[in-house]
Structure 1
């Protein structure tokens, strides 16, 4: 196991040149909005084809929240897309273990694939409503403390507010 280097980037995750790009997917694995839609659009039909194969075999009911699975990266500048389903935020139920599991499971899949560099979005911090500061705290702590052979984890954050919040949590 190596000590992982964490980097923050403001921008579009589909522009990253890494071994694996993590997709904040929905459980259907068939594309959606936000990061999921952008990855499917930019990566092209090969990603959706792989996702359909997964649905037809192991994940007929969809990918469970907190789990991760890999497909081709299609036309993206990566070898793989690791799809993970984040939890929807709830003010009345603690789902932080599920959010942490998204990062741990993504790193586990990356290790199985032999990936050394990985790009993460802020899982659940968009349409799923997770407060950004808490999402950043959970993400950074989990990636820092999960044993992995991944050498570099890049958090690619779409807007300035999310970037600034992750930067504060990283310090």
Structure 2
């Protein structure tokens, strides 16, 4: 299953990149995040493997995230690059996913965030979930982006909004 979602954020791209990269900010906008801890490497850097635990309602997901592409880590590179890319793969029981993130300057104070996502499932139950609920994955991806936008633009913390 593949899909792309996008959102405009009313902030300069440099600020958006810094907020997305900051592990201390992640729980404020990544709804359902229980744990994100590096197993090897430095958080957010190319090749880093991290343990990820997410809780969505009564469903708990545990997987390993690997950063497979990361460009423009340096502020000067972010300012001059036409697009900032960062990609990751997540592997969990019965599931493999890849997200290819693109951040483009849509204006001097606006950033376009495009997220291309791909999922592959194994095992009867996970294949069934992928067939029956494909829209749920797209909806969740868009929710994470909307939560980030609310956090970045207004300081909205999902932990306060959901409690």
TM range (shorter): 0.3 to 0.5
Structure showing greater Rg: 2
Q: Which has the higher strand share?
A: 2
Higher helix proportion (structure 1 or 2): 1
Q: TM-score scaled by structure 2?
A: 0.39
What's the TM-score once normalised by structure 1's chain length?
Answer: 0.38
